């Protein structure tokens, strides 16, 4: 795949001609609702074998080869140039395909109400081939250790047909919010724990879950070691039942990070006990906060680099959002919440408002501004091919286990094409 950023004057025909592909191939890959109305700044994935690279200041065949894992001699041969040919800035080189690292991929899916919507069902069906794990969110633990199941529809069949492993997500959600009191009971009351673990194992066996994933959030800081001990107990019982165990971790940058979301999550202990962890590396920009990138690459890297001091790389799944937000300006604490939108919806909105999409190179994220019909100024941050490629590059650089998406049901076709282009996806069989 090649990423192309739309420039003024571009058309799908001219882009296709430039890359030696077809109008229909680009249109299909990007699921364009109106292919004859591109947005300046919009990123497209171009379905070609390998990719093109445009020479930058200071580049050489040797430095470019190191970047892409190809020898300078091979680059010279493929591009029919001498290895000693000076490279001018802007010169286009063809980069051949290279071996893909193998990773695991998880995606949460969150059905609401009593039934699974057609959109969620179709999203699970469409994206299951790219998944190692499919994680219905969520089974709510009660104060007596029972499990309240979400609507599961035909997720088990979808997972089985696509060789994806079902993940049983257990949370301390109560009445729509993570409950510190419920969490405290779950990690301190041994009778409740025994009942909960028995119910988890029975549910996993009956439905076909093979990983149990604990997402206990906003636990009281005083219960950090209680949570660790609960996980040790859970791991022993789950392993005896032939089940994997994983956990979700708040995005910390030190062991002493303060805050109700962070203190009870002990990276070192989770890294020791769990089979793998999911870092929730998103929501820097969130619906109730000021406008900014949801998962800016700098803060994401900071979390991962700290995690690597406590947890082996082969146990770390990078969390990644499949959505963005539309904020109404000016931001006021406690004011209007930002509206969530998919990457495809963000592009359509920019087109409808006739504004160009900009790109923040520091955050590695696209954004734009517009003014609505009522005269309100808006700021939109979302994900595109460039921002997701930056996360894939981070996974490769640091040798992480894989990536975990929150959440299915939001259209982002470029992500799945680039995922398949960058990695071989492990299926647990």
250-269 residue pLDDT tens: 999 999 999 999 999 999 99
Token pair of 16 as six digits? 């296709």
pLDDT at 429 over 80: no
Quick: pLDDT tens for 102-115.
Answer: 999 999 999 987 88
Quick: pLDDT tens for 278-298.
Answer: 999 999 999 999 999 999 999
Locate CATH 3.20.20.80 in the chain.
Answer: 102-322+388-425
pLDDT of amino acid 115: 84
pLDDT at 126 over 90: yes
Token pair of 211 as six digits? 């990983």
pLDDT of amino acid 385: 97
Residue 104: active-site member = no
As a whole number of angstroms, the distance between CA 383 and CA 307 comes to 24
Q: Cβ distance 108 to 406 under 8 Å?
A: yes
- When pLDDT is averaged across residues 13-29 and rounded to a whole number, the result is 95
As a whole number of angstroms, the distance between CA 220 and CA 199 comes to 25
- When pLDDT is averaged across residues 158-167 and rounded to a whole number, the result is 97
Longest dimension (CA), the chain: 74
β-strands 276-279, 244-249: how paired? parallel
Locate CATH 3.10.350.10 in the chain.
Answer: 2-95
Q: Which has more pLDDT, 114 or 125?
A: 125
Token pair of 173 as six digits? 């959600």
pLDDT at 221 over 90: yes
Please state the pTM of the whole predicted model: 0.92
Q: Cβ distance 75 to 60 under 8 Å?
A: no
pLDDT of amino acid 85: 86
pLDDT of amino acid 98: 80
Backbone angles phi, psi at 326, to 5 degrees: -115, 105
pLDDT at 227 over 80: yes
C-alpha triplet 109, 381, 104: angle, nearest 5°? 40
Token pair of 41 as six digits? 């700044």
Lowest-confidence region among 26-30, 63-67, 151-155:
63-67
Q: Is 2-95 a CATH 3.40.50.720 domain?
A: no
Which of 104, 217, 310, 379 is labelled catalytic? 217
Q: Which has more pLDDT, 281 or 428?
A: 281
Sign of CA dihedral 38, 40, 41, 47: positive
Fold designation for 102-322+388-425: TIM Barrel (3.20.20)
DSSP SS3 for 54: strand
DSSP SS3 for 305: helix
Q: Residue for token digits 């499949």? A: 322
- When pLDDT is averaged across residues 84-88 and rounded to a whole number, the result is 90
C-alpha triplet 262, 268, 270: angle, nearest 5°? 75
DSSP SS3 for 15: helix
Quick: pLDDT tens for 57-81.
Answer: 999 999 998 888 899 999 999 999 9
Beta strands in 149-236 (DSSP E): 165-171, 173-174, 177-178, 209-215
As a whole number of angstroms, the distance between CA 351 and CA 195 comes to 54
């Amino acid at each position: 795949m090649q990423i192309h950023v739309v420039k003024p004057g571009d058309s799908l025909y001219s882009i296709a001609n430039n890359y030696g592909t077809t109008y229909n191939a680009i249109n299909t890959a990007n699921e364009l609702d109106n292919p004859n109305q591109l947005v300046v700044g919009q990123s497209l994935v171009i379905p070609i074998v390998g990719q093109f690279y445009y020479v930058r200041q200071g580049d050489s065949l040797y430095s470019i080869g190191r970047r892409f894992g190809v020898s300078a001699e091979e680059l010279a041969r493929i591009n029919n140039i001498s290895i000693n040919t000076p490279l001018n800035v802007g010169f286009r080189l063809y980069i051949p395909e290279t071996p893909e690292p193998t990773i695991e991929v998880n995606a949460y899916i969150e059905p609401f109400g009593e039934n699974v919507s057609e959109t969620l069902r179709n999203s699970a069906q469409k994206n299951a081939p790219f998944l190692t794990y499919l994680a219905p969110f969520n089974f709510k633990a009660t104060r007596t250790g029972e499990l309240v199941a979400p609507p599961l529809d035909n997720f088990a069949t979808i997972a089985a047909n696509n060789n994806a492993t079902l993940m049983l997500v257990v949370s301390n959600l109560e009445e729509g919010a993570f409950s510190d009191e419920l969490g405290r009971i779950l990690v301190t009351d041994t009778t409740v724990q025994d009942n909960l673990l028995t119910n988890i194992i029975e549910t996993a066996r009956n439905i076909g879950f093979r990983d149990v994933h604990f997402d206990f959030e906003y636990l009281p800081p005083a219960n950090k070691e209680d949570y660790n001990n609960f996980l040790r107990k859970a791991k022993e019982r789950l392993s005896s039942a032939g089940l994997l165990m994983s956990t979700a971790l708040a995005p910390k940058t030190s062991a002493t990070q303060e805050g109700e979301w962070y203190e009870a999550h002990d990276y070192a202990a989770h890294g020791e006990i769990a089979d793998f962890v999911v870092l929730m590396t998103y929501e820097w920009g969130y619906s109730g906060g000021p406008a900014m990138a949801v998962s800016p690459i700098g803060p994401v890297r900071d979390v991962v680099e700290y995690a690597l001091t406590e947890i082996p790389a082969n146990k770390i799944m990078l969390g990644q959002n499949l959505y963005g937000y539309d904020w109404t300006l000016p931001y006021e604490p406690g004011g209007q919440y930002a509206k969530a939108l998919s990457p495809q919806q963000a592009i359509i909105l920019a087109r409808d408002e006739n504004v160009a999409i900009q790109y923040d190179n520091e955050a590695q994220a696209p954004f734009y501004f517009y003014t609505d019909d009522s005269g309100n100024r808006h700021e939109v941050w979302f994900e595109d091919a460039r921002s997701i490629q930056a996360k894939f590059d981070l996974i490769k650089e640091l040798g992480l286990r894989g990536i975990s998406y929150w959440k299915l049901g939001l259209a982002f076709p470029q992500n799945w094409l680039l995922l398949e282009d960058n990695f071989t996806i492990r299926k647990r069989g």
